[in-house]
Amino acid sequence: TARSVGVVVPRGTPTPRGVPSTRGPVSRGRG
């Protein structure tokens, strides 16, 4: 969703919280 923290940063990059963005390839099952 647009409320995701990882939506403001490029997909696959660490979020300001220090955790991988939920929009990253991992969430797509390609990890």
Output the six-digit token pair for 27.
């969430």
Residue 8, domain extent = 1-31
Q: How many separate domains does the chain show?
A: 1
Distance from C-alpha of 7 to C-alpha of 27, rounded to nearest angstrom: 13
Output the six-digit token pair for 19.
């955790």
pLDDT in tens, 1-31: 555 555 555 555 555 555 555 555 555 544 3
φ and ψ of 5, to 5 deg? -70, -30
Please state the pTM of the whole predicted model. 0.13
